[in-house]
Amino acid sequence: MVPTKIVAQKSPPLKGTVRISGAKNSVLPIIAASLLSSDEVFIDDIPELRDVNVIIELIKYLGADCVYKDGKLSIKVDIKEVEAPYDLVKKMRASFLVMGPLLARLGHARISMPGGCAIGTRPIDLHLKGFQALGADINIGHGFVEAKADKLTGKKIYLDFPSVGATENIMMAAVFADGLTVIENAAEEPEIVDLANFLNKMGANIKGAGTDSIRIEGVKKLKGTEHTVIPDRIEAGTFMVAAAMTGGDVLIENVIVDHVKPIIAKLIECGITVVEEAGGLRIKGCNDFKAVDIKTLPYPGFPTDMQAQMMAMMSVAKGTSVIIETVFENRFMHVDELKRMGADIKIEGRSAVVTGIGHLSGAEVKATDLRAGAALVLAGLVAEDRTEINDIYHIDRGYVRIEEKLKNLGAIIYRE
Ligand SMILES: CC(=O)N[C@H]1[C@@H](OP(=O)(O)OP(=O)(O)OC[C@H]2O[C@@H](n3ccc(=O)[nH]c3=O)[C@H](O)[C@@H]2O)O[C@H](CO)[C@@H](O)[C@@H]1O
Ligand SMILES: C=C(OP(=O)(O)O)C(=O)O
């Protein structure tokens, strides 16, 4: 039988070394972008995740030939379909990222409308405004979004919010457009830079990725390339918090220190020791770390994808912390589950007031989304007795064998 829950027990301080996998949020747009290449592409450090399986299934459905072996994926594309069906988009919102490449390559894409999810309504208006600005006609009906264009022409596009997905989708759509596209108020996340690097290696002409203004000069064709995905800064952050919360001493390998700066800053403010070593980042926890305030923001601000994990940590910190979520309107689903474990948290609009208590108590809880699940795993490592986390398919979307990696550090955790 497939294990359906993770059981965590109060664990000793975590000790040892953990290697961080390739970034989920880089590999998904990069696999989508491979639809733009006329030749075979090779992608290395592919994380074995549920979401990665979904995007591979989707590009295979569209006509790609994919071979996966030992963390490496080769993709050769011969697009036969322009439609991304409901079944695949409902499993993962990031499936919508094939719209830009299909529009660029074939001038036509029909993608099932991604719905909201546990963390918010998550509209796609900014993606669509960008496609329209480039010259596409957009039609929405019967649960699908259809984009058609005889020709795409470069334009200046200002994003009302620096949306990661919209920046990526528009960047991919503009790769073959006539002339210059400029995305202003673009997202600056490291995953945008990784995608731009991948596209440039294939022959695209993209400048400014990583700043709020990205310039894409249209080219005629993209060729094959090899690319290694950047390490997952959110997985790294999650293990950094695990080490800190348990009072452990853990070396995090395969992490780009710049990408986790906002997390390092908060941990240091809590009283945790963070040391940059040749092999990675060493996190040394302490028993009475302080509560700190957190406000999530687009990069380089504190990542919303680390908010739930920090809240688990603040639940057992010394003092009171105010956590403000500004990126998603409804990303507090983990609060009720943490409260089941005894946490003292009050929600006021977009703020959570967390009063640190001495200890949590193990309980049966459910992962309502990916990072909520990670937060509950972390809470389970410091809670008295046994914590059972249900609906762990959410966790498997974004963490490579989380329980094995934690077990290697001495945590008492297993799948049941
Ligand atoms: C696969 C992937 O990379 N997922 C990440 C990506 O999601 P995703 O790309 O979906 O996140 P966005 O940056 O687009 O969303 C941020 C905010 O913008 C709003 N918005 C977005 C698009 C749009 O057209 N209209 C609009 O209003 C969203 O509802 C949300 O409130 O960035 C998020 C913010 O860092 C992360 O939490 C996700 O892990
Ligand atoms: C919100 C996340 O992912 P997605 O955008 O794929 O839902 C996440 O990784 O925390």
User: Which residue CA neighbors atom 7 of ligand 2 most closely?
Assistant: 93
286 is known as an active-site residue: no
Residue 357 Cα to ligand 1 midpoint, Å, equals 33
> pLDDT tens digits for 356-394?
998 899 999 999 999 999 999 999 999 999 999 999 999
* pLDDT class of 1 with cuts at 50, 70, 90: low
Residue 288 has pLDDT above 80, yes or no: yes
> pLDDT tens digits for 167-204?
999 999 999 999 999 999 999 999 999 999 999 999 99
Sorted by sequence, the CB contacts under 8 Å of residue 25 that are 6+ apart come out as 164, 189, 191, 232, 234
| 282 annotated as ligand-binding | no
Number of H helices, E strands in the chain: 14, 24
Locate the ligand 1 atom nearest the alpha carbon of residue 124 and give its number. 24
pLDDT at 368: 95
Question: How does 160-198 read in b/e, with b if 16+ C-beta sit within 10 Å?
Answer: eebbbbbbbbbbbbbbbbeeebbbebbbbbbbbbbbbbb
Q: Is beta strand 41-44 parallel, antiparallel or unpaired with respect to 226-228?
A: parallel
305 Cβ below 6 A of ligand 2: yes
Locate the ligand 2 atom nearest the alpha carbon of residue 165 and give its number. 5
pTM (2 decimals)? 0.98
Locate the ligand 1 atom nearest the alpha carbon of residue 299 and give its number. 35
| 93 annotated as ligand-binding | yes
pLDDT at 330: 87
Q: Which of 371, 393, 394 is the best mutation target for the ligand 2 pocket, counting ligand atoms within 8 Å of the beta carbon and taking the most?
A: 371
User: Which residue CA neighbors atom 36 of ligand 1 most closely?
Assistant: 305
- Domains (ranges, CATH) in the chain? 6-21+231-415 (3.65.10.10), 24-228 (3.65.10.10)
